[in-house]
Structures are given as C-alpha cells and as structure tokens.
Structure 1
C-alpha cells in the first residue's frame, strides 16, 4: 500500500513538473505576443497619421493644379546700370 501511494505521488510530481514547464513556455509566448501587439499598435498609429494627412495632400495637389498659370518663372538678369566687373574702369 505504501509503495502504490509513493508511485502515485511520483506520478503527481512528474505531472506538476510538466505543468510548470508548459506554464513557463506559455508565459514566454504571451510576453512575445504582447511585444508584437505593441509593435503592431505603434505601426497602426503611424498608418493612421499618414491617412489623416491624405485629404490635405489631395487638396494641395488640387490647388496647385488649378493655379498653374500663376506660376511663372522670371529669369534673373543683371541690372544694366551696374557694371558687371567693378575693376574694368580702373
């Protein structure tokens, strides 16, 4: 009777050790999952910020395309009254 009880307790101990090992593995996996969810959350916040800016970007493009006639480049020229070389008259 004592031997059967010892055998039963050894099996129970082995099961508890296995349960402890599995619990530790599960804890590690849950910590990794939490880290990945945090990264995912940060990435989704960045995507949200970009998407919030798109209406302003489209509006800017529309305004720029409507006012292309107003954009005229004026070439830079030297004033004819100023001498191009200050040492040429000396």
Structure 2
C-alpha cells in the first residue's frame, strides 16, 4: 500500500538482483560440475536444484526488467487512501 511519503529517489533493486542471480547461476553450475566430477552425487544434486531455482529467479527478474516501469506507480498516481476496514452499520 502506498502512503504518499515514499522517497522521490527510490530505485528498484532489480538490476542488482539480476547480477547477483547471474553470479549465483555461475557458481551453481560450477558446483554441479565439480561435485559431479568428484563423485559426490548429493552435493551435485543440491547444486543442480539451486541452479534451477536461480535460473527461474533470473528469468522472472529479466522479465520484470523488460517490462519497465509501467507496472509501478509514477508520481502522477495519487497515494491510495489507507483501508480502515469495512464500515460498521
């Protein structure tokens, strides 16, 4: 819920999240490969699952970055009035 007092210079952390996901994807792929070569199937499977989770997150972040700011309210959108619950009759 918007209260109307958000900072004017607030920025989304999507680009940071994107690059951290890329970093995590590389490390998960590296871990999966190394643990597979060292015959450690449990650790290889854990890194493989982490790889899939990070890949899905990276896809969603890239999609939101591609959408742009159209799904976020701009300065021209007035703040929403807080919901005080349903009125009592």
TM-score, normalised with respect to structure 2: 0.34
TM-score, normalised with respect to structure 1: 0.34
Greater relative contact order structure (CA < 8 Å, 6+ sep)? 2
- Larger helix proportion of the pair: 1
Larger Rg: 1
